Chains A and B, each alone.
Chain A
Amino acid sequence: NAGVTQTPKFQVLKTGQSMTLQCAQDMNHEYMSWYRQDPGMGLRLIHYSVGAGITDQGEVPNGYNVSRSTTEDFPLRLLSAAPSQTSVYFCASSYSLATTETQYFGPGTRLLVL
Chain B
Amino acid sequence: AQSVTQLDSHVSVSEGTPVLLRCNYSSSYSPSLFWYVQHPNKGLQLLLKYTTGATLVKGINGFEAEFKKSETSFHLTKPSAHMSDAAEYFCVVSRDTGRRALTFGSGTRLQVQP
Question: How many residues of chain A have a CB within 8 Å of chain B?
Answer: 23
- B44, A90: Cβ atoms under 8 Å? yes
Of the candidate stretches B14-22, B62-70, B72-80, B97-105, the one touching chain A is B97-105
**Is A97 on the interface with B (CB-CB < 8 A)?**
yes
Of the candidate stretches A12-20, A68-76, A79-87, A103-111, the one touching chain B is A103-111
Given contacts A59-B101, A99-B94, contact A41 B106 (CB under 8 A): yes
Secondary structure of the A contact surface, majority rule = loop
Question: How many residues of chain B have a CB within 8 Å of chain A?
Answer: 26
Contact with B along A45-56 (1 / 0, CB 8 A): 100100000001
Give residues in A with beta carbon < 8 Å to B.
4, 31, 40-45, 48, 56, 58-59, 90, 92, 97, 99-100, 102-103, 105-108
Give residues in B with beta carbon < 8 Å to A.
4, 9, 31-32, 34, 36, 41-46, 49, 51, 90, 94-96, 99-102, 104-107
With A40-B106, A102-B49 already in contact, 9 other A-B pairs whose C-beta atoms are closer than 8 Å: A41-B106, A42-B104, A48-B101, A90-B44, A97-B100, A100-B32, A105-B44, A107-B41, A108-B41
